[in-house]
Structures are given as C-alpha cells and as structure tokens.
C-alpha cells in the first residue's frame, strides 16, 4: 500500500527543518491559531529558533512531526504529529494544526486525521489514539467527532484565558472502533 | 494559619531535600519493585542501578532549577531522617495555575502507616496556599484501585478515562486522570476544621 500517507485532499510528508521552520514561524504569529493549539502563552520566536527547535525534536524516537500538503498544488498547509507514543501499550496522542486560516472548515483536517489514524493502526499497530482539544474550539471538536473520536472526559478549568476558565477535552479512538467504522479502506 | 509556619513539617514525616549520598542506594532498591514502578508512570517499569539513580537525582535538581515547573521533595521520617518516599508537583503551568501530583512510599513495609497521608496534607497546603495553584491533577492506572481511593480521600474527582491506555500482563487498563480544584480543597478543609 504505497499510498498509505495519501488521502483524498492531502498527503503527509517528512520535511527538512529549513522548510517547516519558516512555516511555523509565520503561523506562530497568528495568536488565534496559537491559542487553539497550545496552552502555553503565545510568544514570538525567530525563524532560526523554530528551525533549531525542529532540529532538536525531529530526532525523537517517540514522536512524529509531518507536514500536511494539499494534493492539488503540494502546498504545505499545516502539520500532523504523534507524541507520548508508548509502543509497549499501543497508545499515542495525536496533534494536528492547519496553519492556513482561509482553508479551515473545508475538510482538510479531517482528511489528514484519517490518514494518520490509518498509519497509527495499520503501520504502527497501535491500539488507541488519543488527543486533547480545548473547550473553546468547537470546530476542532466537531472534526474529531467526525473522524471517530469518543469523548473521554474533561480536565476542569485547565486553562485561564481572557479571565475565564476553560476545560481540556480528552478524546480517544480504539482500534476496534476504527475498524468497525470501516475506515480501513477510505 | 499563621504566616510564620513550617510548611514542610508534618506529624510523622517531613518533606526534605535529596540526600545525594544516601538516597540513591535506597531508591535504586525501590526501582526493583516493578509493581511500584508501574504505579508511577506509563513508561515501562525498569530497575535502576545506584549510579543510574544518582544521575536521575542530578537531572531532577537540574530540572527543578532550570524549568521552574517542578517541585520535588523527599519524604523522610521525623525521628530518624530515613528516606520513605518522594512527592512532586510537576508540569506546572503558571499562567493557568495547574500542576500534576506524583508520589510514592517506596518500601512496602512503610505503606499504610500514615506517611503518605501526612505528606499529602503538606503538599496540598503548599500547592494551594504557597504556589497558589488553581488545580492539581493526578494520573493513576485502573490497575491501581488503592491509589484511586487514596486520591479521592483528599477530594480528587475522576475527570478523564483514557480507555485501554495500558497493556500489562496481557490485559488492558484505563489511565484515570483525577483532579482537585482549589475551592474544593478549601471547602474540604473547612469541614474538617483546619486552622
């Protein structure tokens, strides 16, 4: 199956730090995007810093960090990664971000997630994939529900932003659930 | 509670710094109790040599100093300063006031003697009244119901179940996330009549 990392709208690729560095640097300046993605306070790092961060982190054996590229013009629109990967338990967390705001809500993220789930279950042979999403990101929550994730609980008041408390939502999909949804062939 | 108070003095135990000379040998022994190791982390249980334990302690102190997101204490007997266990608040996010709690009483014979309870009272007071955190989390495997009961005694509530996140002895178990929010801890203390 040579098209394991290809979906209907995007494909996933491994990229050099000098390619992803400038992308991260530009997306990093969209603090709305940062606030959807990260609980760390947004701050601005140089392209150099982003590149060095990538150089340090791309070599971790328990993490994956790939670019999401559109199939039609090969443009890099975001990233997709796995972290806290425990092969001994068959468990991982997944993170996805579409950096190009204009193409949100068009299905690119859902397509990318389907590819990653297929990779996780059919190539890494994991038994579950989990994620954390913020309470104030209903678009992402909807996307993950569509991809087959089930709600597994909430860490109450995990974030204080704009003088309000917000929960972390944990979601997860088990291998048997993914198989039952017939996602293997999509 | 008076300002001029001993935050690290309990009834039976005290919270103390690492003793780089004495502690590695003791904790190296604990790491050979794989059931204890399993209760502490999703990482595979692995025994550590005295030398490896020494390095681990050095790494802990480095992280405490550099990251500013970790507070680490040994638990020691008040009478004999014997190393009984450790307790740590980690992954602190200062802008949100959150942290994760992890602790262990190392030797099987030292458990169920009130040392853990004593340490918990101290660390909760420290977390909420000194570090001014809003909430604490704790992560426990479903295969460790004793730990779930222990945390619930202090007001922790089950918040998340990462289903089948653990595979041990051929069986799957959930990872349970528990949480204690400051207001709940205050209310619990008021009822118990803490000064």
Of A86, A155, A160, Cβ closest to residue B160: A155
Structure confidence at residue A1 (pLDDT): 58
Residue B6 maps to a domain: no
Q: Tell me which chain A residues have a C-beta less than 8 angstroms from the C-beta of B165.
A: 86, 89, 91, 128, 130
Structure confidence at residue B192 (pLDDT): 61
Residue B5 maps to a domain: no
Q: In this structure, what CATH number is given to the domain that contains residue B119? A: 3.40.630.30
- Kindly report the average pLDDT of chain B as a whole number: 95
- H/E run at residue B128: helix B115-129
Q: Tell me which chain B residues have a C-beta less than 8 angstroms from the C-beta of A128.
A: 162-165
| Residue B155 C-alpha, separation from nearest chain A C-alpha, in angstroms | 14
Total structural domains in chain B?
A: 1
Contact B162 A89 (CB under 8 A): no
Hey, what are B189's tokens? 């203390």
B6: phi then psi, degrees, rounded to nearest 5: -95, 105
Contact A88 B160 (CB under 8 A): no
Structure confidence at residue A186 (pLDDT): 47
Whose CA is closest to B15, among B120, B109, B90? B120
Residue B84 maps to a domain: yes
Residue B4 maps to a domain: no
Beta bridge partners, A172, equal A130, A150
Report residue B184 CA to chain centroid gap: 19
What is the rounded distance in angstroms from the CA atom of residue B91 to the CA atom of residue A64? 22
Residue B115 maps to a domain: yes
**CB of B84 closer than 8 Å to CB of B110:** yes
Structure confidence at residue B10 (pLDDT): 97
Range of the domain at B68: 13-194
Please state the ipTM of this predicted complex: 0.93
Residue B3 maps to a domain: no
Residue B7 maps to a domain: no
Mean pLDDT score, B113-128 = 97
Q: What is the distance in angstroms between the CA of the first residue and the CA of the last residue of chain B?
A: 6
Contact B165 A157 (CB under 8 A): no
Contact B163 A160 (CB under 8 A): no
Query: In terms of DSSP bridges, do strands A64-70 and A76-86 run parallel, antiparallel, or are they unpaired?
Result: antiparallel
| Tens digit of each residue's pLDDT, chain A (186 residues) | 579 999 999 999 999 999 999 999 999 999 999 999 999 999 999 999 999 999 998 888 889 999 999 999 999 999 999 999 999 999 999 999 999 999 999 999 999 999 999 999 999 999 999 999 999 999 999 999 999 999 999 999 999 999 999 999 999 999 999 999 975 544
Per-residue pLDDT tens for B72-86?
A: 999 999 999 999 999
Per-residue pLDDT tens for B57-66?
A: 999 999 999 9
Residue B97 maps to a domain: yes
| Secondary structure class of A57 (helix, strand, coil) | helix
């Amino acid at each position: 199956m040579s098209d394991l990392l290809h979906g209907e709208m995007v494909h996933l690729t491994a990229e050099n730090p000098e390619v992803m560095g400038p992308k991260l640097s530009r997306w990093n300046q969209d603090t709305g995007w940062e606030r959807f993605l990260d609980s760390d306070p947004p701050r601005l790092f140089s392209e150099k810093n982003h590149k060095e961060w990538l150089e340090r982190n791309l070599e971790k054996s328990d993490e994956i960090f790939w670019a999401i590229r559109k199939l039609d013009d090969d443009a890099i629109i975001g990233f997709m990664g796995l972290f806290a990967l425990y092969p001994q338990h068959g468990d991982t967390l997944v993170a996805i971000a579409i950096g190009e705001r204009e193409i949100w809500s068009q299905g690119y993220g859902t397509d990318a997630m389907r590819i990653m789930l297929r990779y996780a279950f059919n190539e890494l042979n994991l038994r579950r994939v989990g994620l954390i999403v913020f309470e104030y990101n209903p678009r992402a929550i909807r996307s993950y529900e569509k991809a087959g994730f089930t709600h597994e609980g909430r860490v109450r008041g995990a974030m204080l932003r704009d003088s309000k408390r917000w929960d972390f939502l944990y979601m997860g999909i088990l291998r048997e659930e993914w198989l039952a949804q017939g996602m293997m062939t999509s | 509670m008076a300002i001029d108070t001993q935050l690290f003095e309990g009834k039976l135990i005290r919270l103390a710094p690492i003793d780089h000379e004495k502690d590695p040998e003791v904790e190296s022994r604990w790491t050979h109790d794989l059931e204890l190791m399993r209760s502490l982390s999703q990482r595979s249980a692995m025994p550590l040599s005295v030398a490896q334990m020494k390095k681990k302690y050095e790494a802990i102190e480095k992280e405490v100093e550099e990251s500013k997101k970790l507070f680490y204490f040994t638990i020691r007997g008040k009478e004999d300063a014997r190393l009984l266990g450790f307790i740590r608040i980690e992954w602190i996010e200062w802008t949100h006031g959150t942290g994760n709690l992890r602790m262990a009483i190392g030797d099987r014979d030292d458990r169920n003697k009130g040392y853990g309870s004593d340490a918990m009272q101290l660390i909760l007071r420290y977390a909420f009244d000194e570090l001014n955190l809003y909430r604490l989390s704790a992560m426990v495997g479903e295969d460790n119901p004793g730990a779930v009961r222990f945390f619930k005694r202090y007001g922790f509530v089950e918040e998340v179940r990462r289903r089948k996140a653990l595979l041990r002895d051929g069986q799957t178990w959930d990872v349970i996330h528990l949480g204690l929010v400051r207001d709940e801890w205050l209310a619990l203390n008021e009822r118990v009549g803490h000064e």
